Chain A
């Protein structure tokens, strides 16, 4: 593991850029991820956010939780709006209308806004090479409208539009690999992160901010409401997802793969440890879990191979 500059909560920015009084559910790890991302970026940040949980809970007119400039977009166009902000500010700085300084342009969206509805504009923004960061908060379904499946819902999960029953296992397709899709654009920086590993998350956000050109960060955000777990266990389930290799923490820095956290033999757990406590997976049989275990390890071994290549 590379040496990190943030290794203790004492190194973390004390100022809060996301005010309390927001309406997120109890134990929401997604709002924690937003809070940590803003702490890593600091106050010179402009955020464009697609519709989704984080928009609903943070900005019921006339109040807002944001302490940085923020604009609400439709589901599809957060990436388009933030790329416009970046180009506009760059032009104003070039003409001397505003003082030149480093500003972080951040597009944010949930998994629905990123992998389903807003994928076209995101792909366009990544291809045009704007100096921006796009952060996807992946809670693995459309949670704010009541847990409908998205293309990021994992195989076997029960949601209201992919209910498990006698003839259905729940979600029957594999989770869309949005990280690889972003990496396939050949952009300078792509990473996965999880708020259960806050220092790793903040390091990656800082690195994305320092990288010139587009960066994409995919954050697994545990949703106690949609995953049917106890709110107090939100951080624990993020950790289980990483330690069972369901959600490996890695980065693709200028095409070079690197696993930023490898679960040690002692910490490596079977996927059943991660799946068994969650209500959305409780219908799975042992053979279903074996299928998931095999697919998980296959994907993880591919990442291991890629990270060993020079």
Chain B
């Protein structure tokens, strides 16, 4: 989508309100919902990928160093990754501004 969603008027919508751009919800950054942030202990991570598998957002990615971490643009801080990590290398830290 060329424009941010707030600026789109109804005249610009496709016929039948069809959304032609797939997966454009990536522009909506749900990271601002978060009150706790997952922090990964890179040394302890065994790269089993279970956090990636169980993440409801689908926002966990492999970092260049090989460990897995959440994309904080979208992470809502639910804590499932920290709960399900078999080696408990993820801790939830309170977000402070």
Chain A interface residues toward B at CB < 8 A: 8-10, 12, 16, 18-24, 26-29, 31-32, 35, 58-59, 61-68, 195, 198, 224, 230-236
Contacts and interface: CB of A to CB of B under 8 A. Distances in A.
B56 A62 contact: no
A239 to B, nearest CB: 10
A21 B48 contact: no
Contact of A20 (B17, B48, B74, B82): B74
Most chain B CB atoms below 10 A, which of A9, A26, A59, A65? A26
Contact of B8 (A20, A62, A64, A198): A62
B58 A232 contact: no
Interface of B: 1, 5, 8, 13, 17, 19, 21-30, 33, 48-50, 52-59, 71, 73-74, 76-80, 82-84, 92
29 contacts: A18-B58, A19-B22, A19-B58, A20-B26, A21-B29, A22-B30, A23-B28, A23-B30, A24-B56, A26-B76, A27-B80, A28-B78, A31-B57, A35-B56, A58-B25, A59-B19, A61-B17, A63-B1, A63-B25, A63-B28, A67-B23, A224-B78, A230-B79, A232-B80, A233-B83, A234-B78, A234-B80, A235-B80, A235-B84
Contacts of A66: 22-23
Contact of A27 (B22, B52, B71, B78): B78
A132 B80 CA distance: 32
B26 to A, nearest CB: 5
Nearest to A20: B74
Contacts, number: 114
A249 to B, nearest CB: 17
Contacts of B33: 26
Given A20-B74, A23-B30, A235-B80, A64 B50 contact: no
A9 B49 contact: yes
B78 A232 contact: yes
B54 A19 contact: no
B67 to A, nearest CB: 14
Nearest to A71: B18
Contacts of A235: 54, 80, 83-84
A232 B36 CA distance: 11
B56 A64 contact: no
Given A32-B56, A231-B79, A233-B83, A22 B25 contact: yes
B19 A236 contact: no
A184 to B, nearest CB: 33
Contacts of A64: 19, 21-25
B25 A9 contact: no
